[in-house]
């Protein structure tokens, strides 16, 4: 069922672990490893014909990408978020992205990167490419969190946003959704840019909180269950 990887001295270890991470990600996205399920390194090492350390390295990549969780001294598991988790993530996201919007508006920073990020979402929606849509939406919000140049804001924002959109993609594919729910959110992403451009920090912050709350309502309705 599974193709073995050729693990030998001729293949760079970095390439091997990246290839394994891609394959495991596809197992997750196809639902063959379910949310919350333990990923047994020895099992997948046998399946893929590689050393167990290569599976572990691949899981580290998937942890960074938000698809896998690993506690200290605990086995890796596929990310699983319940409704309370999703609600709490969006609540904190609203505060963090609102703060980012306030700082950007206050400083009058250029918004060409956010415009480019929005264009990527629009193009992905037009293509009907669900994976690209979710990736592009994530990129838009990471871009906003990075703009103030506050390393703490960016770090904690990424900790929330990256796993959230990994889980969004998992659930959207499981439900066989198309891109229409995200097409409906395009005006809200446009609003984010426009309200920041107005240059009124408080309005930008409060608008972001409101918009993120709207995204939460859509998440609970469209893909969370």
| Long-range Cβ contact pairs of 105-108 (< 8 A, separation 24 or more) | 105/195, 105/196, 105/197, 105/198, 105/199, 105/200, 105/201, 105/203, 105/204, 105/205, 106/199, 106/201, 107/148, 108/199
Quick one: 184 and 124 in the same domain? yes
| 182 and 217 housed in the same domain | yes
- Mean pLDDT, the chain cut into blocks of 10 residues (225 residues total): 50 80 96 95 94 94 96 85 98 98 98 98 98 98 98 97 98 97 98 98 98 98 92
Is residue 153 assigned to a domain?
A: yes
**Domain presence at residue 107:** yes
Its domain, for residue 134, covers: 83-222
The closest of 188, 199, 206 to 97, measured between CA atoms, is: 206
Using DSSP's 3-state secondary structure scheme, residue 38 falls into strand
pLDDT of residue 71: 75
110 and 205 in a single domain? The answer is yes
Structure tokens at 187: 């005006």
From CA 65, how far away is CA 61, in angstroms rounded?
Answer: 6
> pLDDT value at position 188?
98
Residues 134-148 pLDDT 10s = 999 999 999 999 999
Predicted confidence at residue 9, as pLDDT, reads 42
**202 and 137 fall within a common domain:** yes
Given a contact cutoff of 8 angstroms between Cβ atoms, the answer to whether 191 and 175 are in contact is: no
Q: Quick one: 142 and 92 in the same domain? A: yes
Q: Residue 15's pLDDT is what?
A: 86
Among 78, 96, 116, residue at a domain's last position: 78
CATH of the domain at 38: 1.10.10.10
> 56, 78, 100 — which closes off a domain?
78
Instruction: Provide the domain count of the chain.
Output: 2
Residue of 163, 148, 59, 73 lying closest to 104 (CA atoms)? 148
Q: Looking at the structure, tell me whether residues 126 and 210 fall in a common domain.
A: yes
Is residue 7 assigned to a domain? no
* Phi–psi pair at 128, nearest 5 degrees: 70, 25
Name 38's bridge partners: 77
* Shared-domain flag, residues 192 and 95: yes
pLDDT digits (tens, 9 = 90+) for 86-120: 999 999 999 999 999 999 999 999 999 999 999 99
The rounded Cα 193 to chain-centroid distance in angstroms is: 20
pLDDT at 72: 67
Q: What is the pLDDT of residue 4?
A: 59
Residues 109 and 147 in one domain: yes
Verify that 65 and 116 share a domain, yes or no.
no
Residue 94 covered by a domain: yes
| E strands in 51-187 | 68-69, 77-78
Same domain, 187 and 165: yes
């Amino acid at each position: 069922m599974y193709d073995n990887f050729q693990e030998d001295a001729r293949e760079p270890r970095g390439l091997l672990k990246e290839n394994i991470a891609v394959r495991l990600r596809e197992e997750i996205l196809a639902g063959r490893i379910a949310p919350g399920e333990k990923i047994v390194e020895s099992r997948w090492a046998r399946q893929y014909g590689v050393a167990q350390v290569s599976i572990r390295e691949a899981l580290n990549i998937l942890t960074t990408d938000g698809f896998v969780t690993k506690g200290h001294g605990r086995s890796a598991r596929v990310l699983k978020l319940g409704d309370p988790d999703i609600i709490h993530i969006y609540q904190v996201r609203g505060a963090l992205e609102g703060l980012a919007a306030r700082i950007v508006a206050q400083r009058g920073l250029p918004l060409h990167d956010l415009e480019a990020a929005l264009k990527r979402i629009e193009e992905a929606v037009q293509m009907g490419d669900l994976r690209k849509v979710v990736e592009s939406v994530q990129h838009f919000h990471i871009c906003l969190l990075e703009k103030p140049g506050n390393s703490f804001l960016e770090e904690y924002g990424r900790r929330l946003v990256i796993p959230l959109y990994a889980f969004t993609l998992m659930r959207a594919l499981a439900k066989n959704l198309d891109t229409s729910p995200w097409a409906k959110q395009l005006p809200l992403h446009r609003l984010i840019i426009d309200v920041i451009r107005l240059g009124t920090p408080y309005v930008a912050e409060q608008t972001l909180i409101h918009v993120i709350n709207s995204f939460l309502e859509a998440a609970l309705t469209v893909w969370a269950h």
